[in-house]
C-alpha cells in the first residue's frame, strides 16, 4: 500500500510540474506544399526531424508569406542545414491518406509548448487533431487528397533507366522524380510580440510517422519493460 501511495504522489508531482511549466504557448502545426525533401520509404517510414525556431526576416504584419516562414515576420521551425521548413517526399509507392507528427516535449526545466492544428492549412489533409502522449504530442492529419507517391519523369538523360529502378535516392536521381512532397509547418501565432508564442532559438524534435504511432509504440515499450520487471521481482521473491 505504501508503494502504491508513493507512485501516486510521484505521478501527481509530475503532472503539477508540467502544468507549472506550461505557459499557454500555442504554436500552429500543419502541412503545405514544398520541395527538396527527405524520403519516406518502406524501410524508413518514420523519418525524424530536428528543427530550430527562427525569426522570419520579413515585415511583421505584411500580407502573405515571408522569405522563410508562412507568415511574414513570424517565427517558425526550420531545418538548421537548409534554413527552410522541413520537406518530406512520399517514396512508399502508395498515397499517404494520414500521417501523425510526433513532437517531443521540451526539456523538463523549459516552458512546454502546447500545439494546436493550423486550420488555414488544409489543402493536403482536411482533418487535424492533437493528443498528449507519453513524451510529447501527436498531431494526426487525415482526410483530403493526402500525399500521393512520387512519379518518375524522364528527362532524357543517360541515367533515366538507372534512376527509374534506383528511385529518387539514387545518385543524381532526385531531379527525375516529381510530386509526393509536403512541408511540416510549425509556426507561431502573431499576437502582440510574435516571439512570445514560439521563441526563436527553441529546439523542436520529432518524427513524421506513417506506421505505427510513436506514442502507442512508446507505451507498448514501457508496458513490456514493466512486465519484465514484475517477472524479475517475482523470481527474486
Segment 18-41, tens digit of pLDDT: 333 334 457 889 887 666 678 787
Report yes or no on 229 lying in a domain.
Answer: no
Q: Are 41 and 89 in contact (CB under 8 A)?
A: no
Residue 138 pLDDT greater than 50, yes or no: yes
Angle at CA of residue 94, ends 93 and 100, nearest 5°: 115
Q: Cα separations (Å) of 152 from 44, 149, 202, 217, 235?
A: 20, 10, 38, 34, 58
Residue 172 pLDDT greater than 80, yes or no: no
Q: Are 55 and 77 in contact (CB under 8 A)?
A: no
Report yes or no on 163 lying in a domain.
Answer: yes
**What pLDDT, on the 0 to 100 scale, is given for residue 79?**
95
The tally of domains found in the chain comes to 1
For 114, counting Cβ atoms within 10 Å of its Cβ (0-12 exposed, 13-18 middle, 19+ buried), the class is middle
Radius of gyration of the CA atoms of the chain, in A: 21
Cell of 124: 493536403
* E strands in the chain: 28-32, 38-40, 48-55, 75-78, 87-90, 96-104, 116-117, 127-133, 136-147, 151-152, 177-178, 181-187, 203-209
The domain in which residue 208 lies consists of 2-212
**What pLDDT, on the 0 to 100 scale, is given for residue 53?**
94
Q: Which of 208, 201, 87, 193 is nearest to 141 (CA)?
A: 208
Report yes or no on 237 lying in a domain.
Answer: no
Pick from 104-118, 135-149, 209-223: least confident: 209-223
Total H helices, total E strands in the chain: 3, 13
Report yes or no on 73 lying in a domain.
Answer: yes
Report yes or no on 173 lying in a domain.
Answer: yes
- The strand pair at 38-40 and 177-178 is best described as unpaired
Report yes or no on 95 lying in a domain.
Answer: yes
Report yes or no on 222 lying in a domain.
Answer: no
Report yes or no on 9 lying in a domain.
Answer: yes
Amino acid at each position: 500500500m505504501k508503494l502504491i501511495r508513493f507512485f501516486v504522489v510521484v505521478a501527481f508531482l509530475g503532472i503539477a510540474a508540467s502544468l507549472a511549466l506550461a505557459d499557454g504557448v500555442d504554436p500552429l502545426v500543419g502541412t503545405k506544399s514544398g520541395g527538396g525533401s527527405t524520403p519516406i520509404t518502406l524501410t524508413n517510414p518514420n523519418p525524424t526531424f530536428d528543427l530550430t525556431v527562427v525569426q522570419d526576416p520579413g515585415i511583421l504584419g505584411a500580407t502573405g508569406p515571408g522569405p522563410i516562414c508562412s507568415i511574414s515576420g513570424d517565427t517558425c521551425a526550420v531545418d538548421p542545414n537548409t534554413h527552410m521548413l522541413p520537406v518530406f517526399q512520399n517514396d512508399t509507392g502508395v498515397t499517404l491518406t494520414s500521417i501523425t507528427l510526433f513532437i517531443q516535449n521540451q526539456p523538463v526545466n523549459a516552458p512546454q509548448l502546447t500545439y494546436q492544428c493550423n486550420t488555414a492549412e488544409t489543402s493536403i489533409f482536411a482533418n487535424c487533431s492533437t493528443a498528449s502522449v507519453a513524451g510529447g504530442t501527436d498531431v494526426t492529419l487525415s482526410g483530403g487528397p493526402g500525399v500521393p507517391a512520387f512519379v518518375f519523369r524522364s528527362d532524357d538523360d543517360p541515367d533515366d533507366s538507372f534512376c527509374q529502378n534506383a528511385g529518387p535516392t539514387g545518385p543524381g536521381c532526385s531531379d527525375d522524380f516529381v510530386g509526393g512532397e509536403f512541408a511540416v509547418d510549425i509556426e507561431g501565432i502573431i499576437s502582440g510580440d510574435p516571439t512570445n508564442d514560439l521563441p526563436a532559438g527553441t529546439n523542436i524534435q520529432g518524427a513524421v510517422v506513417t506506421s505505427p504511432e510513436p506514442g502507442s509504440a512508446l507505451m507498448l515499450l514501457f508496458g513490456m519493460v514493466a512486465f519484465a520487471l514484475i517477472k524479475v521481482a517475482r523470481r527474486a521473491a
